[in-house]
Structure 1
Amino acid sequence: MNSFEFYLTSVCGGVLSCGITHAGLTPFDLVKCNMQANPSKFKSVSCVLGQLCEKHGVGALFRGWLPTLVGYSAQGAIKFGLYEFFKIFYADIVGPKNKTLICMAGSASAEFIADIALCPFEAVKLRVQTHPDMTQGFVQAFADLWATQGYNGFYKGLLPLWGRQIPYTMVKFACFEKTVDSIYKYMIPIPKEKCSKAVQLGVSFAAGYIAGVSSAVVSQPADNLFSILSCSSGVCVIDAIKNIGVVGLFTRGLPLRILMVGTMTGAQWGIYDAYKVYAKLPTSRAMARDLKM
């Protein structure tokens, strides 16, 4: 578990789990982003769906799938690959028994680096999804963002992105590992090693869903800020908070995001562990014996 082949498997699993799930949930993300970026225009889910479908057709709900696929594939590769590395690295420092601390530190370190790769694609995706007449594609949005804002346009949302993604990922990984341990300890009467692969993958999905709901709630304020800042030129954090309000910062788009992120995170862990099974590796579980091998 500390070999090049192991980390390569983690990278490939991360590409599949993050790229496919995020791209597949593009309609949910598009509705959420429009509600966050244009709160005065889109006051509810039905309002967004009605206006967009009536004006641009059902196909408009999939706008932004390409930058989503590319951006989150890159992010997933770095996040999952480095998470497995940092998990072992921190276990050598603090000892393998500090599982929650290791998971949180490892996931935060991995996400910090992964977001640098993700941020430009997130900025382009938001520009595509919130464009008033839905006419911009990936290439056009990229060129327009570069022409109007330059390099800063791709990274002006990096701090809010870190604010959203790092707490989200820390909760996502730590809660997942803790939930997996709890399920095997309290709900399944036989050891994990004796469970079928189907049961183990079912546990991964269930634990991932629970972790996704928890991480969505924690990261919601930063998600709102990122959407507003990335879609508006010359708006600072204070302006964004005034625009949406303190209560709106926590609640705007939250039910939809809980549904989206819970489903997505469950699917991510299911796909990630399914790929590990395919590669003849054990499914994820941060047991002390797994952290130093």
Structure 2
Amino acid sequence: MQSLFPSPKLLNLAFSGCSQTALPLFEAQTKHNSKWQARQELYPVWSVADDAKNKAAKLSDAAVTEFEKASSKTQRKAGHIELYSPKYYAACTFGGIMACGLTHTIVTPMDLVKCRRQVDAKMYKGNFEAWGKIGRAEGFRGIYTGWGPTFWGYSVQGGLKYGGYEFFKKFYADLVGEENFHKYKTGIYLAGSASAEFIADIGLCPFEAVKVRMQTTIPPFAKTTLGGINYIVGKEGVGGLYKGLYPLWGRQIPYTMMKFASFETVVEMIYNYLPGSKSDYGKGAQTAVSFTGGYIAGILCAIVSHPADVMVSKLNSNRQAGEGVGAATSRIYKDIGFGGLWNGLPVRIVMIGTLTGLQWMIYDYFKIFMGLPTTGGAAPEKGKA
């Protein structure tokens, strides 16, 4: 007896817009399906998702192809870059400029709230409340207050830090010899990063002074980076740009030592855990490892350097005329106490973790782009190339 209800086959033909000419094709497609297998033709959303996935894969392949073309063209123009040559250190310096300048500028809204809460813990209850108040009072541009000195300062600092680290790491490794380097590599990472950051902070300090004052004065005391520099120099002389240098060293040198040493250690641990060796993994996998190692390193950096970060913000915004660094530090600590040194830590952990992960990913992607190996990895075993 014929059923009163239409079969699934007829329903599919009716609602999918198929004609009767599609019936043989439909039967051929469904003939081999088991009773346990889901039938894609009954779920139009399924095919839409597959189409989107296929298009995304094609776009990704196209992007990789364009990246390879641009990379090959750049490498031909630049010529062969020998490891630890002046050209190598120049490439690492440029990679550091890209990694730090861009990432610090992107997180300016988080940095703005962090600095204001460090100066006055009662100013905002949370980040979203802060951004809402700033946006309503100053517009979208207000949320990015201080982006100019941030970009220029951390571009200078990033170039000197990453390029300097590559130089000093090799310099100290050569001093102790290859065998001792593998024994005491963490000490080499710490010494190399500290030396690089010592120099990098001299370039960063003037821009950091302008940034902090711009972010912690309402309305901002200057609208542009150059305007801020001229204002400080006019009132306090060139020394006014460097009065936060000692606290900056106190914040940035431990921060960078933790950043580079922990990154190298975490990346080596990841590759030791994964099957095979580092060279078995492609560019995407290696930069994913770089991001992971950088994020973990960033969390540790934020914790280690946060008290000094609070003090730098306080000194740049709340130091009295003619007051020495030691006297100002003592006065501020009496005002805020030990607990006050940790104001804004959660937001800084998120900010620095994300920022550091992105920095290492960008830096290593640039090294790949220039035909150079990514940073870190397990030491080669004896007897292996």
- Do the aligned residues in 1 keep the contact of 2:272 with 2:378 (CA within 8 Å)? no
One-letter amino acid of the counterpart of residue 223, structure 1: D
Tell me the equivalent position of 2:363: 272
Are 1:65 and 2:147 an aligned pair?
yes
**Structure 1 residue matching 2:181: 3-state secondary structure:** coil
- Give the drift of 1:147: 2.0
Q: 1:132 aligns with which of 196, 206, 218?
A: 218
Q: How does 1:75-224 map to 2 (within 5 A)?
A: 75-94=157-176, 95-97=180-182, 98-134=184-220, 136-137=222-223, 138-186=225-273, 188-224=274-310
Distance 1:253 1:43 in 2: 11
Distance 2:192 2:332 in 1: 31
Tell me the equivalent position of 1:16: 98
Give the greater-gyration-radius structure (CA).
2
Q: Quote the RMSD (CA, aligned, Å).
A: 1.5
- Give the drift of 1:135: 5.9
Tell me the equivalent position of 1:281: 372
- Do the aligned residues in 2 keep the contact of 1:60 with 1:134 (CA within 8 Å)? no
- Do the aligned residues in 2 keep the contact of 1:83 with 1:107 (CA within 8 Å)? yes
Distance 1:119 1:243 in 2: 25
**Structure 1 residue matching 2:376: 3-state secondary structure:** coil
Distance 1:48 1:84 in 2: 39
Distance 1:148 1:113 in 2: 26
- Give the drift of 1:46: 4.2
- Do the aligned residues in 2 keep the contact of 1:273 with 1:283 (CA within 8 Å)? yes
- Do the aligned residues in 1 keep the contact of 2:205 with 2:242 (CA within 8 Å)? yes
One-letter amino acid of the counterpart of residue 331, structure 2: D
Distance 2:102 2:156 in 1: 12
Query: Alignment length, in residue pairs?
Result: 287
Tell me the equivalent position of 2:340: 248
Distance 1:195 1:47 in 2: 44
**Structure 2 residue matching 1:281: 3-state secondary structure:** coil
One-letter amino acid of the counterpart of residue 217, structure 2: H
Distance 2:311 2:288 in 1: 34
- Do the aligned residues in 2 keep the contact of 1:127 with 1:231 (CA within 8 Å)? yes
Is 39-48 or 270-279 further displaced after alignment? 39-48
Please give the TM-score of this superposition, normalised by the length of structure 1: 0.94
Is 32-41 or 20-29 further displaced after alignment? 32-41
**Structure 2 residue matching 1:90: 3-state secondary structure:** helix
- Do the aligned residues in 2 keep the contact of 1:39 with 1:244 (CA within 8 Å)? no
- Judged with a 3 Å threshold, the aligned counterparts in structure 2 of structure 1 residues 109 and 287 are, in CA distance, closer, same or farther, namely farther
- Do the aligned residues in 1 keep the contact of 2:278 with 2:377 (CA within 8 Å)? no
CA distances 1:155-197 after superposition (whole Å, capped 9, x unpaired): 11111100110000000000000000000111x2121101011
Q: Which has the higher contact order (CA 8 A, sep 6+)?
A: 1
Distance 2:114 2:260 in 1: 24
- Do the aligned residues in 2 keep the contact of 1:34 with 1:48 (CA within 8 Å)? no
CA distances 1:70-95 after superposition (whole Å, capped 9, x unpaired): 11111111111110011011112233
- Do the aligned residues in 1 keep the contact of 2:221 with 2:228 (CA within 8 Å)? no
After the TM superposition, which segments of 4 or more aligned residues of structure 1 sit over 6 Å from their partners? none
Is 44-53 or 240-249 further displaced after alignment? 44-53
Please give the TM-score of this superposition, normalised by the length of structure 2: 0.72
One-letter amino acid of the counterpart of residue 313, structure 2: S
- Do the aligned residues in 2 keep the contact of 1:83 with 1:109 (CA within 8 Å)? yes
Tell me the equivalent position of 1:5: 87
Distance 1:195 1:286 in 2: 12
Tell me the equivalent position of 1:228: 314
CA distances 1:16-47 after superposition (whole Å, capped 9, x unpaired): 00000001111011110111122343454345
Identity %: 48
- Give the drift of 1:68: 0.7
